[in-house]
Chain A
Amino acid sequence: MKTYNNKAWWLVLPVFVLVAFSAIIPMMTVVNYSVQDIFDPSTRYFVGTEWYREILADPRLHDSLVRQFIYSFCVLAIEVPLGIVVALSMPRRGLGVPFSLILLSLPLLVPWNVVGTIWQIIGREDIGLYGWTLNSLGLDYNYASNPRDAWITVLVMDVWHWTSLVALLCYSGLRSIPDVYYQAARIDRASHWAVFRFIQLPKLKNVLLIAVMLRFMDSFMIYTEPFVLTGGGPGTATTFLSQTLTQMALGQFDLGRAAAFSLIYFLIILLVTWVFYTAMTHNDDKG
């Protein structure tokens, strides 16, 4: 049970000021763009909700939105369970700890454009290890021409890149479980599954909530890696939402329309994340 005390605002205030400085003005500017047709800084017309209506009816948005949801779903369905398994398998003491922590965090530290580059090379059938191996095993693998292969490559790249994030969060969550819980479980002769289900999983809930939401948001906004790897192709097979948006903002130079698109995009992420958040915390604050 938490105490009600409005003085706690003083502890939150620095965060609020710092974040609001970078958040509110740019957001308002984008809202302002989204209701105007802008030709150049001095020639602009108020168009109201026209951009919004146009975008909501745009089939390109629908296509990339569906693709995006399938992609984010796959990412979560693979990375969250895999991350938990890896965290549970990590050593608890000894030299293995720093060793596996460092190795696990390596993919996270690679700049995103380099991530795309690595997989671009390693997937090529002539000079890349994976592409060459798959083809010499008799599989006809080519991410540049086959949409299915491109999809799988982008997905495997994401799993490689980000599962460590889930694993590290879960590992540090597991390390904060006091030993007495395990001792009690040993006295009760609890099975491994029971220890996981009734001790580890409930204690992991907080970090899992963060992991799921982070992975959802970031996978939903993925841009650099598939852009470098496949350029959105073949065709539009791996053109996700943010790439459609960038094409609109830079390629066609439609600032107003792109701004309206960004806000719709933002609201979709907001809505889904809010659903996750509410679903995972609705039991918490009954008191």
Chain B
Amino acid sequence: MRLRKSLVMLVYLLFVLVPIYWLVNMSFKSNREILGGLSLWPAAPTLDNYRVIFTEPTWYMSYLNSLSYVSMNMLISLLVALPAAYAFSRYRFLGDRHMFFWLLTNRMAPPAVFLLPFFQLYSAVGLFDTPIAVALAHCLFNVPLAVWILEGFMSSVPKEIDETAYIDGYTFPKFFIRIFLPMIRPGIGVTAFFCFMFSWVELLLARTLTSVDAKPIVAQMTRTVSASGIDWGVLAAAGVVALLPGIAVIYFVRNHVAKGFALGRV
């Protein structure tokens, strides 16, 4: 059984890694070598592609812009979603089920036509081309997701734990922060990661709401396509660098995801 499991995992990880390997492989090649033929590793490894990214301000600034709105979005999403998810998991109130489902409907709007009104809205409130505009716009799909995932985790915590804590004299904020949040740590870890991920890779809204000052990395990447063709090497290198912050995030939340739920704590 254990052996079969490891085998499944190994095969799947291989499936995941081959395209990533190809991306890394491409990022160390010149365009001529990429288009010249099949090679499993770079014949003449070059750092030129990475040099472009780390020396040209438009490239490295776009990474910083992306990081700033993504972290703002992650923070806002978690802060507002935690209490809301608790309300949905513990109480019935007027319109709760409708509200819960309505939240999710905000993920369902096909973006193409909605971009123009978004642009008008954020220009009207004077936030156009700032990271906070993108952070707020991304809340549209990240906050509902955060509420939904957290609600699932909170509902699996028995309600008796809340009641026992209140009998023991805990106030709501104290109970929520000291007892309840540690119990749903895997959920918070996963939620933080998903907020980060969806905001990091989103292209259309981020591109529409920024122009120069707050230009995100995903929009900068589309610049590698020019009249003379696609700059495959730089695009691949930018893709590799774009993986790094996400790896850091998943590394930080790994214990929360893996820790599980110790019932003996209360």
Q: Which A residues contact B (CB, under 8 angstroms)?
A: 2-9, 11-12, 14-16, 18-19, 21-23, 25-27, 29-30, 33, 82, 85-86, 88-93, 97-98, 100-114, 117-119, 121-122, 126-130, 132, 160, 164-165, 168-169, 171-173, 175-180, 192, 203, 206-207, 209-210, 213-214, 217, 221, 223-224, 241-242, 245-246, 249-250, 255, 258-259, 261-262, 265-266, 269-270, 273-274, 277, 285
Interface pick from B44-52, B53-61, B142-150: B142-150
B121 to A, closest residue via Cβ: A25
3 pairs of A and B residues whose beta carbons are closest in the complex: A206-B152, A109-B246, A29-B117
User: Nearest-CB distance from A219 to chain B (Å)?
Assistant: 12
Q: Which residues of B contact A273 (CB under 8 A)?
A: 104-105, 108
Q: What residues on A are CB-neighbors of B80 within 8 Å?
A: 14-15, 18
Contact of B167 with A by CB under 8 A: no
Cα A103 to Cα B259 in complex, Å, equals 18
* A residues less than 8 Å from B232 (CB atoms): 117, 121
Distance, CA A100 to CA B6, complexed state (A): 11
Q: How far is the CA of A117 from the CA of B234 in the complex (A)?
A: 12
Q: Are A160 and B16 in contact (CB-based, < 8 A)?
A: yes
Contact B38 A129 (CB under 8 A): yes
B interface vs A, CB < 8 Å?
1, 5-6, 8-9, 12-13, 15-20, 22-23, 26, 34-38, 40, 76, 80-81, 83-84, 86-88, 90-94, 96-97, 99, 101, 103-114, 116-118, 120-121, 136-137, 139-140, 143-145, 147-149, 151-153, 155-156, 184, 186-187, 189-190, 193-194, 197, 200-201, 203, 217-218, 221-222, 230, 232, 235-236, 238-239, 242-243, 246-247, 250-251, 254, 257-263
* A19 near B92: Cβ-Cβ < 8 Å: no
B22 neighbours in A (Cβ, 8 Å): 118, 121-122, 128-129
In contact, B92 and A5 (Cβ under 8 angstroms): yes
7 further contact pairs, Cβ within 8 A, besides A15-B80, A18-B76:
A27-B109, A109-B243, A112-B201, A114-B236, A119-B19, A176-B156, A210-B145
Query: Closest residue of chain A to B103, judged by CB?
Result: A19
Residues of chain B contacted by A129 (CB below 8 angstroms): 18, 22, 38, 40
Give the distance in Å from the alpha carbon of A9 to the alpha carbon of B98 in the complex: 13
Identity of the chain B residue whose Cβ is nearest the Cβ of A97 in the assembled complex: B258
Complex A-B: 20 CB contacts under 8 Å: A6-B94, A12-B84, A12-B99, A14-B83, A15-B143, A18-B76, A22-B139, A90-B9, A101-B254, A103-B16, A109-B242, A111-B217, A127-B36, A129-B40, A175-B257, A207-B152, A221-B110, A245-B112, A258-B113, A266-B110
Q: How far is the CA of A206 from the CA of B156 in the complex (A)?
A: 9
In angstroms, Cα B22 to Cα A48, docked, is: 52
Complex Cα–Cα for A249 and B204 (A): 14
What residue in chain B is nearest A130 (Cβ atoms)? B18
One of A3, A23, A106, A255 near B20 (C-beta < 8 A): A106
CB distance from B7 to the nearest CB of A (A): 8
A8 lies within 8 A of B118 (CB): no
Residue of A nearest to B246 (CB): A109
Partner of B258, one of A2, A101, A121, A245: A101
Q: What's the Cα separation between A11 and B79 when bound, in Å? A: 11
B9 to A, closest residue via Cβ = A89
Q: Which residues of A contact B230 (CB under 8 A)?
A: 117
